[in-house]
Amino acid sequence: MRIRIVGAGAMGRGIAQWAAVAGHTVELCDVRTKAVTAAVDFVRSMLERAVQKGRMTSGDAAAALERLVPLDDPWAPGPEVELVVEAVREDLDTKAEVFGKLEEALPDSTVFATNTSSLSVTRIAASLRDPARLAGLHFFNPVPLMRIVEVVPGAATRPGIPPALTALVESCGHRAVTVADTPGFLVNHAGRGLVTEALALLEESVADAAGIDRIARDVLGLRMGPFELMDLTGLDVTAAVIDSIWQGFRHEDRLRPSYLTPNRVTAGLHGRKTGQGWFAYGPDAPDAGEPPVTGDAGRPVFVAGGEGAEGLRNSLRAGGATVESGPEPSEEALVLVPVWGTTVAAAVASQGLPAARSFGVDPLPPAGRRRVLAVTPAADPSAARDARAVLARAPEGGEPHAVSVVRDTAGSVAQRLLASVVSVAASIAERSLATPADIDLAVTTGLGYPTGPLAWGDRIGTTRLLDLQRALHATTGDPRYRPTRWLTERAQLGLSLTDPGTPPEDCA
């Protein structure tokens, strides 16, 4: 296939490398001639690096470079061009102008694709004489390494174009997911579940940014915490995406932005690229270490009833802790309360527990060796330090647990993050914006989560997850936590969250 790529920036050159390596002839062009030269040099260096690392032969690299054709004029006639991929700046007027000129220069049979990450494919196509020839083909940076591409049909796109683009993408070694033309498409939309909830936790002073990141990594198993991720992406970019998706979905509560981001963006605290974001970067950046464990690890504990109580008792005993077994705690005992969507404060009130020495423990099994201790405003600091020391105890022959101390909140940190991730993904499935299989594929490949959000919900259990979301909604009164219909129905019917279900049209 002969492919013309318009735009020789980071995305354009990445797409050019990907397509040329896969065996296609690639015309690379830009209104800036120097940008094309620089892009070809960059691709050459990437191919040479791949050869040095043994990822391809020198012959294959030379052949790929031979297939990369620098083009001086983006609007040159191209009777053999079968596909155009536009990768210019994110501006509707600019993209419309580019496609308008291409429509004059190229055959009617040439398929047009836009690499837009945030603009409506339908609006871009509307500027063409034939809007049916255009679809979205959204790559992620760096293109050769991010092996996922969103295929986005516009409202007028010819039915045969999306499957043809999917076949092309997968023949070149990437995975393709078909997504409705909606704000954020799929990966950026699904990613809002983690970052918006992390910002809400920070707003409420449940934990600081470093503390939330530790829990995200060590309890949920994410490769990066949400604040590390925002600093890597750039808070200016993240905040703009959060706002545009929230506005695009008409202020959906589940996607609500935070008041924390606008001032930080204005102040230039964008993350790694500015040297300061949620964290400081550079040789003089302070070490965000955790405080040492200083409490009395030998103090007796009483585990109050609730989900995960017996499992916590057994785990504590395995670490050598003294666990009381009576109906009530002794005068010296620390009281540990496994909380599932509720608060320690509510347990203190309903069960008559001693407020100064009652603490919450998240019953989610940690991906690493981290436990989470929740403290209320009534907690005795000395008792809290002792509770942390008890939870840090290692099983015989094992390593001590890391213990995060957070403010008491409904569901604690990990549960709220997980519930939000699954809810946003379930709402995407509920609206039929993408299939359940594509949602999980896109999130694991595009965002690097340890498992797809819908499969993650199945691992927790649909009934248990529904209980969590109902408890969060009831405890907070915030509509952002209301359970989705997708989850509620599947919990009631005994279906998996990854099950697309029977469509009504199959029953007509």
Would you give the distance in Å from CA 225 to the centre of its chain?
Answer: 10
Q: Which residue in the list 27, 86, 150, 228 is annotated as catalytic?
A: 150
Do 409 and 344 meet the contact criterion of CB atoms below 8 Å apart? Answer: no
Q: Which of 82, 86, 115, 138 is catalytic?
A: 138
Tell me, yes or no, if 188 is annotated catalytic.
yes
Looking at residue 328, the DSSP 8-state letter turns out to be: S
Instruction: Give the C-alpha separation, 152 to 476, whole Å.
Output: 37
Residue 43, Ramachandran bin (φ over 0: left; ψ between -120 and 50: alpha; else beta)? alpha
Sheet of strand 111-114: strand arrangement? 68-71, 25-29, 2-6, 83-86, 111-114, 134-138, 148-153, 175-178
Beta strands in 343-442 (DSSP E): 358-361, 370-375, 402-407
DSSP states of 455-481 as a string?
Answer: HHHHHH-HHHHHHHHHHHHHHH--GGG
Q: Active-site residue among 24, 27, 115, 117?
A: 117
Has 251 been annotated as catalytic?
A: no
In the residue annotation, 270 being an active-site residue is answered as no
Cα gap 19→469, rounded to integer Å = 44
Which member of 103, 120, 174, 188 is catalytic? 188
Host H or E run for residue 70:
strand 68-71
Tokens matching residue 291? 């405080």
Provide long-range contacts, Cβ within 8 A and 24+ apart, for 376-380: 376/343, 376/344, 376/345, 376/348, 376/408, 377/408, 378/345, 378/348, 379/355, 380/356
The candidate with the shortest Cα–Cα distance to 252, out of 120, 420, 71, is 420
Contact between 20 and 2 (Cβ < 8 Å): no
* Type of residue at 431: R
Active site residue 324: no
Residues whose CB falls within 8 Å of the CB of residue 174, separated by 6 or more in sequence, listed in order: 18, 147, 148, 149
- A 10 A CB-CB count for 365 gives 11
**Positions marked active-site:** 117, 138, 150, 188
